[in-house]
Structure 1
Amino acid sequence: MLKGFKDFIMRGNVIDLAVAVVIGAAFTAVVNAVVASVIEPLIALVWAPDENGTIGWTVPGLHGPVTFPVSDLINAAISFLAVAIVVYFVFVLPMNTWKERQAAKAGVVEEEEEKLPTEQELLVQIRDLLERSSAPKA
């Protein structure tokens, strides 16, 4: 019973998913604070915020000006990339390294694929076979 549970937990996709959810939730607040404190002020140097503090393009509309909030898009993209980088380098990469070491200790060696002949080698073989079959028999 415990061995089955251990096998289930040690599957890579279960570990990866659990780590991504936990770290993503915890790290998102930090990333959002950095983006709001550093990135958005840098963006504000280029674009002036509107009366609501939204940074982006303002376009005149039928019922007044409309602002496309570029800062929200940049915030989401940077947050995603930061969380993905941390999850990969702190958890996924070490877990993959550990799995490779365990496989090496167990003597499991990945089999190399059989090397197939190139197109040129196949054409040479076909030519040689045609020459042999069309050669006059003595």
Structure 2
Amino acid sequence: MIQEFKDFIAKGNVMDMAVGIIIGAAFTAIVTSLVGDLINPIIALFTGGIDFSGWFYTLDGSEHASLAAAQEAGAPVFAIGNFIMAVINFLIIAFVVFLLVKMVNRIKAAAEQPEEPAAEEPAGPSELDVLLEIRDALKKG
């Protein structure tokens, strides 16, 4: 069983997957920072800083000053604002990832394109054509 485990770990697919997961985690941090630190402030500038996370309803009808206060009091809370913010953040992140993937694909395609062959010089007359011309010139002359 230990040998089977060693064989499994030694396979390239497992190592590729591990590298992919590690790079994916790092990529997630980059995209999250891009969205949270750069894109969301720009959107907040245009929307007047609307924050939906304060929209909530207590299912038992009790009144609370904030979502945190309602959750701390143990009230059953329908936090619609958090859900809306999660959807908005998802759409922004999905769009940013789409743009990044599109850019990477464009760079890959440019790198994979074979170099254009040098323009071929027009081929001159073949050896047979030259010999025929010489023969015809000798017949005339």
Based on CA coordinates, which of the two structures has the bigger radius of gyration?
2
Give the TM bin, normalised by the shorter chain.
0.3 to 0.5
The alignment's TM-score, normalised by the length of structure 2, stands at 0.41
Give 1 or 2: higher strand fraction: 1
Higher relative contact order (CA 8 A, sep 6+): 1
The alignment's TM-score, normalised by the length of structure 1, stands at 0.42
